[in-house]
Amino acid sequence: MNIIVCIKQVPDTSEVRIDPETNTIVREGVPSIINPFDENAIEEALLLREQHGGKVTVISMGPPQAEAALRESLAMGADEAILVSDRCFAASDTLATSYVLSTAIRAIGEYDLIFCGKQAFDGDTAQVPPGIAEQLGIPQITFTIGLEVDGRKVRGRRMLESEFEVVEVRMPALVSVVKQINEPRRPGIKAKLAAKKKEVTIWDSACMDIEPCLCGLDGSPTRVVRTFAPTREIKGEKFEGEPAECAAAVIDRLIGQKII
Amino acid sequence: MDFRFTEDEQMIIDAVRELGEEELAPHASEVAEKGEFPYDAVELCREMDLFGIPVEEQWGGLGMGFLMWGTVGELLSYYCQTTGSVFGAHVLGQYPIMAFGTDEQKEKYLAPLTTGEHIGAFGLTEPNAGSDAGSVATRAELHGDRYILNGTKIFISNGGVAQTYVIIANLDPRKGTRGLTAFIVEKGMPGFEFGKDEKKMGWDALPNRELIFQDCEVPVENVLYKPGRGFRVAMDTLGVGRIGMAVGAVGLAQAAFDAAILYAQQREQFGQKIAEFQAIQFMLADMATDIEASRLLYQKAAWLKDQGEAFEMIASMAKVYSSEAVNRVTSQAVQIHGGVGYTCDFPVERYMRDAKLFEIVEGTSEIQRGIISNRLLREHRI
C-alpha cells in the first residue's frame, strides 16, 4: 500500500502570537514541531504499513527549516520525505496550499491513501485536507477517529460535534484524523540519529508542474483583514441573601429559562 | 576544553527532557509512594534506547560513552528519582560484562542488557562484607564444568526484577581478595532464589533484595574475566558505579533546588516573597554552587573514563562531594519550604530522605575519603 502523509511544521505553543502589522504568525524564538494532529496521521500510516506492507512518504510544504519536521517523521519510521519549498509558495492561503500539495502528490504518482491531521495547530482552518481531496478528485473522510481497511474499501468513523458518522469510500482516498485515533510513537535515539543521515528530497516549483498564478499570494483569494484573540465575556450573575432564598431564586431562574 | 554538547548529544538531551517532562515527572511521586517497581518508565526508557548509551554499537549500543550516560542518568534522576536509580543500578550488571566479557558472553548477556530487554544487577554486598568488600563469604566451588555457589547477598538494587546478575563469590577464602571471582548468574538458575526486599527510609520503589544461592550451579563459561580476579572486576565496576551515584545525587539535588527556588518566589511572609530575604537568597546561592561543583566532578570523572585514563580518584571525589552536597541541598530545600516542606504534600521531604542513601551506598563517604587519601599519599610520597 502506498501511503502519503501531509504534515505541517508549526510553532510549539498553543499561545501563538500574531504580528499586528502583518497579521501573520510570529515564528521567531518559538521552537517548531510537527503539527500534533499530523503526528497521528503519520502514526496511522505507519500502523497500516505494518499491517499491509507498502511505503509511507511524508510531504510538507514550507520554508527550508521545515526539513526538521520531516526528519522527525523519518525517525518515527516513514520511508521517504519530500519538502515542497519555493519562495513563490510563500503567503499561500488554504486554496493555494491545497493546489501545491495536490500537485506534489500527482508528481509522486501512485498512491492508495493520503493521511492528514484534521487541522493545523496554528491556523486551525481544517481546509487543506478537503482542498487536496477536491483538487485530486478523490473521496475524503475527515475528522476520522477510527479506520478499517478491507481490500480497496476504507471505512472511517468520523468524530463530529455531537455524533459519530461512519463513511465508506474506495481507494484512492484522503483521510484526515483526530488525535484520539491513536497514540503517536516516540522515536528512539537510534532512529533519531539514523534519520539525521537520511535524505530529505526538496522540490521547488520547477520540479513540479506548477502554475505560478495558482500559488502564493496570486493564487490566494483569501485576504486576512485582521487576526485577534477572541475576548471571552461571560458575565456571571450573583445571588445574594439567605442560602434558602438564593437557592429558590436560582431554581426559578433556571426554570424560567427552560434549563430545568 | 569545551563544555558544549555536540548536536547529536543535544538532540538526545532534548529527547530525554521531553520524555521526563511528559512521561516521568508526572508519576514520580506516585511511583515512590506506592513503592512499586516502575515498569512503565523502564519500558519507555527501553523504547528510547537509553540502556545502550555507553555500549559499543557492535552489541546494539550507541557507543557514546559515560559522559553522555551520566548526563542522561542525571536527567532521569531529576524527573523521576526511582527511574534514575534503576538506570544506575542496571549499568552495574551491564558494565562488568561490557568491560570484561568474552564475545560469547557479550552476545548472550550484554546485547539484551543493552536493548533493555533484560535488566541488570550487581551482587557484592553481604551482611559481613559491606565497606570491607574483600571479606565476601559467598563460596564458589568447581565441580567438573560447573561452579557451585553458596551464600547470601543483601541490599541488591534491582534484585528480583533483574534477569542478569554479576555476582562476586570467593573460590578460596584463605586467599582473601585473590580468591574473589565474578560470575554471570541468570534469574531462574536452579538454586538461585530471592529473599527479603528491604523496607527503607527512602527509595521505596527501588528493590533492594536478598539474593540466596543454595547449591546454585553456574557453568564455567559464566566466569567473568578470570577465576581469582573478581576483586578487579568489582573495583572497576564500583568506579563506574560511583560516577553513577554522583549522577543520581546531582539529579536529585537539582530537583530539590528547582522546587525550592520556585516556592521561594511564590511564598509570601512579612508582606513580601521569601525569595526577597537575603537569608533565602544565600541558601539558594549555596545550593546552586553545590550542584554545579558536583556536576563538574562527575563530568570530569566520566570524561576521564571515556578517555581511558585513570578516573577512580576523581570518581570517588565526585561521589563523596555530591552525596554530601545533595544532603545539604535537600535539607535546605525543606528549610525553604518551611512547615509544608516537612509534609508529604510536597516532594522535598522525600528528596531529603532519599539523599541520605548517597552517603552510604557504593562505598561510604569514609571509604571514598580513604580511596582519595591513599591515592594522594601514593602520588606525593617523599
Grid coordinates 538532540 are at which residue? B11
Q: CB–CB of A193 and B62 under 8 A?
A: yes
The C-alpha of B106 sits at a distance from chain A's nearest C-alpha, in angstroms, of 20
Whether A197 contacts chain B with CB within 8 A: no
Give me the numbers of helices (H) and strands (E) for chain B, helices first please: 12, 10
Question: Do B15 and A193 make contact, defined as CB atoms within 8 angstroms?
Answer: no
Which residues of chain A does B49 touch, with a Cβ-Cβ cutoff of 8 Å?
188-190
Cα A83 to Cα A104: distance, rounded to the nearest angstrom = 10
Q: Does A254 map to a domain?
A: no
Chain A contact for B92 (CB, 8 A cutoff): no
Contacts of B12 in chain A (CB under 8 A): 189, 192
Alpha-carbon distance A117 to A10, whole Å? 12
| Mean per-residue pLDDT, B20-32 | 96
Structural domain that includes position A70: 2-214
CA distance B93 to chain A (A): 22
Three-class DSSP category at B257:
helix
Which CA distances in Å does A2 have to A57, A100, A162, A173? 8, 20, 33, 11
- The C-alpha atoms of residue A107 and residue B125 are separated, in whole angstroms, by 66
Give the number of other CB atoms < 10 A from CB of residue B49. 23
Instruction: Give Cα separations from A213 to A87, A98, A202, A206, B382 (angstroms).
Output: 13, 14, 21, 14, 87
Q: Minimal Cα–Cα distance from B12 to chain A, Å? A: 6
Inter-chain CB proximity B47 and A192 less than 8 Å: no
Instruction: Summarize the confidence of residues B40-49 as an average pLDDT.
Output: 96
Q: Compute the distance between CA of residue A45 and CA of residue A42 in angstroms, rounded to an integer.
A: 5
Does some domain include residue A248? no
C-beta separation of B256 from B333 below 8 A: yes
Q: Which residues does chain A have within 8 Å of residue B47's beta carbon, measured at their own beta carbons?
A: 186, 188
DSSP bridge partners of B192: B213
With respect to residue A172, please indicate whether it lies within any of the assigned structural domains. Answer: yes
H or E, element range at A196 = helix A189-197
A197: closest chain B residue by CA: B8
- Provide the CB-side half-sphere exposure for B133 (13 A, CA): 21
Please report residues of A whose CB lies closer than 8 A to that of B48. Answer: 186, 188-189
- Write the DSSP string, A37-79: HHHHHHHHHHHHHHHH--EEEEEEES-GGGHHHHHHHHHHT-S
Does the beta carbon of A188 lie under 8 angstroms from any beta carbon of chain B? yes
Q: Tell me if B320 sits within 8 A of B362, measured CB to CB.
A: no
What is the value of ipTM here, to two decimals? 0.84
pLDDT in tens, B147-196: 999 999 999 999 999 999 999 999 998 998 999 999 999 999 999 999 99
- d(CA B155, CA B199) in angstroms, rounded, equals 10
Q: Which of A185, A189, A190 to probe the B interface (max B CBs under 10 A)? A: A189
CB B248 within 8 A of CB B92: no
Alpha carbon distance A218, A205 (integer Å): 14
Residues 29-68 of B with CB under 8 A from A: 44, 47-50, 62
Q: What is the mean pLDDT of each run of 10 residues along chain A (260 residues)?
A: 95 71 71 92 97 96 94 96 93 92 94 95 88 96 96 96 95 96 95 94 90 88 79 80 91 88
Grid cell locating A210: 506548477
Is A189–B19 a contact, with Cβ atoms under 8 angstroms apart?
Answer: no
Query: Does the annotation mark B362 as catalytic?
Result: yes
CB contact under 8 A, B49 and A196: no
Residue A117 lies in a domain: yes
pLDDT of residue A15: 60
Task: List the beta strands (DSSP E) in B124-222.
Answer: 139-143, 146-157, 164-170, 180-186, 192-197, 208-219
Residue A16 is predicted with a pLDDT of 64
User: Active-site residue among B126, B210, B324, B362?
Assistant: B362
Q: DSSP per residue over B56-109, as a string? A: -GGGT----HHHHHHHHHHHHHHH-HHHHHHHHHHHHHHHHHHHH--HHHIIII
Return the CATH number at A194: 3.40.50.620
Q: What is the mean pLDDT of chain B?
A: 97
What lies within 8 Å, CB to CB, of B62 at 6+ separation is: A189, A190, A193, B49, B52, B53, B54, B55, B68
Cα(B317)–Cα(B245) distance, integer angstroms: 11
Query: What confidence category does residue B45 fall into, taking pLDDT thresholds of 50, 70 and 90?
Result: very high
Number of structural domains in chain A: 1
**B103, three cell numbers:** 564475545
Rounded to a whole number of angstroms, the distance from the CA of B75 to the nearest CA of chain A is 15
Cβ-nearest to B47 among A188, A192, A193: A188
Q: How large is the average pLDDT for residues B107-111?
A: 98
Q: Is residue A224 part of a domain?
A: no
Residues of B in contact with A188 (CB under 8 A): 47-49
CB contact under 8 A, A189 and B12: yes
Mutant choice from B6, B7, B9, B11 vs A, greatest count of A C-beta within 10 A: B11
H or E segment to which residue B234 belongs: helix B230-264
Q: Nearest C-alpha of chain A: how many angstroms from B311?
A: 27
B334, B354 contact by CB (below 8 A): no
Instruction: Judge whether A185 lies within some domain.
Output: yes
CB-based burial label for B99 (10 Å; 0-12, 13-18, 19+): middle
Task: Provide, as residue numbers in chain A, all residues whose Cβ is less than 8 Å from the Cβ of B44.
Answer: 186
Buried b / exposed e over B298-337, threshold 16 CB at 10 Å, is bbbbbbbbbeeeebbbbbbbbbbbbbbbbbbbbbbbbbbb
Which cell numbers in the block locate residue A230?
477572541
User: What is the pTM for the complete model shown?
Assistant: 0.87
Q: Does B357 touch chain A (CB under 8 A)?
A: no
Which residue of chain B has the CA closest to A75? B48
- Minimal Cα–Cα distance from A71 to chain B, Å? 12
Interchain contact A192–B (C-beta under 8 A): yes
Is A186 in CB contact (< 8 Å) with chain B?
A: yes
CA distance A200 to A67: 7
A241 in B contact zone (CB under 8 Å): no
Residue B49 to residue B62: CA distance in whole angstroms: 8
Q: Which residues of A touch B62 (CB under 8 A)?
A: 189-190, 193
Tens-digit pLDDT profile for residues B206-256: 999 999 999 999 999 999 999 999 999 999 999 999 999 999 999 999 999
A to B CB pairs, distance under 8 Å = 24
How far from the centroid of its chain's Cα atoms is residue A196's Cα?
24
Q: What's the residue count for chain B?
A: 382
The model's pLDDT over B316-369, given as tens digits with 9 standing for 90+, comes to 999 999 999 999 999 999 999 999 999 999 999 999 999 999 999 999 999 999
Close Cβ partners of A224 (under 8 Å, ≥ 6 residues apart) = A23, A24
